[in-house]
Structure 1
Amino acid sequence: MDISEVQGTVADGFEPVREEFAAAVDWESGAQLAVYAGGRRVVDLWAGDGVTGDTLTGVYSATKGAATLVVALLVQDGAVDLDQPVAHWWPEFATAGKDRITLRDVLTHRSGVIGVDGGLTAAELADDRVIARRLAGQRPYWRPGSAYGYGAFVTFAMVGEVVRRATGRSLQEHFEERVRAPHGLDLYLGLPEALEDRYREVLPGLASPEELAAFWADVPGPNSVTGVGYGLNSTPPLDQVAFINTRRVRALGQASAGGVGNARALAALYTAAVFGLDGQSPLLKPDTLGEFAMLHSTGRDLVTGDAGQYALGFQAKGLRYPMLSANAFGHNGSAGAESFADPLGGIAFGYTRRRFSFDWSYPEHGRLVAAVHRAACAA
């Protein structure tokens, strides 16, 4: 892309980030990048047909970062205990060998509960309450605590059920009242219908027939651990692209993957959590931040392979991007969103794109993170 087609602004010293954005992103379908450094927004860029800095799109599992922030606030309040069994709040969950699974186990993907036998339909996966009812009777896919594996579409339905039973309010309500509204974030766990005109659909990935043939030759079967973890064991298998493009999913704000937002909001979320946004105090106290940024599940993920690495609820971004500090944390999304904070580096990063990669690889992430890091260190 010609750099002249990139819209938005960068602060002095961050011009190389604009250049990398122009070189790296799929601008035809649309992308956004926002960065805070030292508490101020230093990058606010976008490109693509019909995309502006205000455009909203599906952020998929970057939603988990917003949901985890809610849990961190409730832990900070003393409203929930990470090491209490889930069944303490939710007795129905205690069946099929799940009586000792803790909230920490769920948040670190160590519960073994990543889906249900026979799968969940797309309609069921839209609603956290329905997912929770189905999971209550499900036996774990491995002995809880013995390994970890990513539950892409169901993990935060379990978390949300704990939040609802412990506090009497939904995770989505807590997010709206304690995080989104006070900070004016364009990030929604339940998109109001009045904002639907700002939503732009997520697009399927593009590939040649040869690339697709090579890709599908290596894809695990629908009833494998990976297939269950990504909802592919239903009939028909879940269409991930169609998922967030369904109004009901956006309206309910499913807490694992149903969030809608933009890059500005993702970067601002982590700024608010760690550094404080627009003169407000950080949402997380140092002890809470330290607990949730600490590495918890490392090594090989049974569902995603080497791509996994987790702090508490968040992905461990310091392991994914070695130029960042050890306890950088955040969460990406399967359509290509990326978001994180680096507490020591003073950076909060938000990125969205509107097109899936056909093979779920997003090489521009590393390029953009490296460019931001270099600019921030030089500033």
Structure 2
Amino acid sequence: MTAEAGVQGTVAEGFEAVREEFAAALDEGITTSGVQLAACVDGRQVVDLWAGDGMECDSLTAVYSVTKGAAHLIVALLVQEGTLELEREVAHYWPEFAAEGKGALTLRQLLTHQSGVIGADGGLSKAELADDRLIAERLAGQRPFWEPGTAYGYHALVIAALTGEVVRRVTGQSIQELFEERIRVPYGLDFYLGLPEPLEARWLDVQPMEPTREQLADLVANAPARDSLMAIAFNAHAKPPTDLVRFANRRDARAMGQASGGGVGNARGVAGMYAAAISETGGRAPLLKPDTIAEFGRLHTVGTDVVTGDVDHFGLGFEAMGVRYPFLGREAFGHSGAAGGMGFADPASGVAYGYVRRRFAYPPGGGAAENDRLVQAVVRAAAAV
């Protein structure tokens, strides 16, 4: 039996090739534990597919760093409205952050992962890691791991706690509260920064990677040193080190919706959020104006990420998606997630994309490899209709 028989859902006329590509990726064994793919073009849903054990159209699971896109959509709105200023020092909004030589860091630099505060000496506790307020309190006085503003490196588990504290100091509300009020509820999105208890019935536990013997050997051989920037950024230097699968599968972590990686959703919710950002949706104007998109989506970090080794990585709070996918517009913006999921908006094509995996992909970190073919299939179909 081919994977096509196990694919559920629908595609709009002209997007049949996306379904075929999705089925082909399943045939090649991307996962049997559940995947979802959704896409919108100019605000209209054109792809709604799912497959795998236990996965339904409305199943919810952890989206990890795809959450950063939700958090920084709120920041983009506040900058657009003049509530926040990119060139203001973070300490202007949050005076305690000035400790340990961080006083000159601007909000723009923070959004581009230049603060150097990628984690905490000795690591963050389980309780801290689940709670953005506790992370912010701990990191306000933390020494940076490089001179702020001189390099950039992925603030994997803490960036939205830092930007979120700026938001809270200015608005009196958390990023989670603002996302709920301004984006999730108005657009009816299945994307939560804090999963309500009644929705636990739709939750699917995240499942760990199932590497081959060769892949496992590679993972062991390339594991970061305990004192490396990579280990610090992913809290692997803590005792015990953070296990991302266990983190997502904790009810308290899901309930608090830590905005760097604690979001819960499905592909429909992710694609729907990005559609709302760039397209007229449900009679509402796009959330972001063209000049805001141009500023937040364009590449800001040229050179090598000192944490991950990636090159030319970030816009403002978002990943610069046009770098990974040159066939997208240069202002495409979004974020991938640790299990292999991804969400983005491409104003040039009108495409909003959401992909969610229940099981971690190999290699770990960022969007899983099958996104390359799925994204291309969606964009190609959108151009042809």
Structure 1 residues without counterparts, runs of 5 or longer: none
Report the equivalent of 2:65.
61
Deviation digits for residues 172-219 of structure 1, max 9, x if unmatched?
111000010000001000110010111101100001233212221112
Q: How many residues align?
A: 379
Is 1:243 the counterpart of 2:247? The answer is yes
Report the equivalent of 1:367.
373
Is 1:92 the counterpart of 2:93? The answer is no
Distance 2:218 2:318 in 1: 31
Following superposition, the deviation at residue 37 of structure 1 comes to 1.2
Report the equivalent of 2:271.
267
SS in 2 for 1:95: helix
Is 1:133 the counterpart of 2:137? The answer is yes
User: Which one of 333, 340, 351 corresponds to residue 336 of structure 1?
Assistant: 340
Q: Conserved in 2, the CA contact under 8 Å of 1:204 and 1:358?
A: no
Following superposition, the deviation at residue 79 of structure 1 comes to 1.3
Following superposition, the deviation at residue 24 of structure 1 comes to 1.1
Report the equivalent of 1:23.
24
User: What does 1:140-289 align with in structure 2 at a 5 Å threshold?
Assistant: 140-289=144-293
User: Which one of 121, 128, 131 corresponds to residue 125 of structure 2?
Assistant: 121
User: What does 1:283-322 align with in structure 2 at a 5 Å threshold?
Assistant: 283-306=287-310, 309-322=313-326
> Structure 1 stretch 55-64 or stretch 202-211: which is displaced more?
202-211
Following superposition, the deviation at residue 31 of structure 1 comes to 0.3
Q: TM-score, normalised by structure 1?
A: 0.98
SS in 1 for 2:200: helix
Following superposition, the deviation at residue 107 of structure 1 comes to 0.8
Q: TM-score, normalised by structure 2?
A: 0.96
Going from structure 1 to structure 2, the CA distance change for 1:174 and 1:202 (only over 3 Å counts) comes to: same
Distance 2:68 2:226 in 1: 23
Deviation digits for residues 118-150 of structure 1, max 9, x if unmatched?
111222100001101110111111111111000
Give the ranges of 4+ consecutive aligned residues of structure 1 lying more than 6 Å apart after TM superposition.
Answer: none
Q: Conserved in 2, the CA contact under 8 Å of 1:275 and 1:281?
A: yes
Aligned AA (2:87): D
Is 1:12 the counterpart of 2:13? The answer is yes
SS in 2 for 1:101: coil
Aligned AA (1:88): H
Distance 1:298 1:59 in 2: 27
Aligned AA (1:37): V
Structure 2 residues without counterparts, runs of 5 or longer: none
Distance 1:306 1:95 in 2: 29
Distance 1:187 1:87 in 2: 31
Q: Conserved in 1, the CA contact under 8 Å of 2:312 and 2:323?
A: no
Q: Conserved in 1, the CA contact under 8 Å of 2:62 and 2:264?
A: yes
SS in 2 for 1:283: coil
Following superposition, the deviation at residue 27 of structure 1 comes to 4.4
Deviation digits for residues 271-312 of structure 1, max 9, x if unmatched?
101112222111112222221112111321111112661111
Following superposition, the deviation at residue 358 of structure 1 comes to 4.3
Distance 1:223 1:307 in 2: 22
The percent identity for this pair of structures is 58
SS in 1 for 2:336: coil
Aligned AA (1:317): M
Distance 2:170 2:3 in 1: 52
Distance 1:46 1:89 in 2: 43
Aligned AA (1:373): V
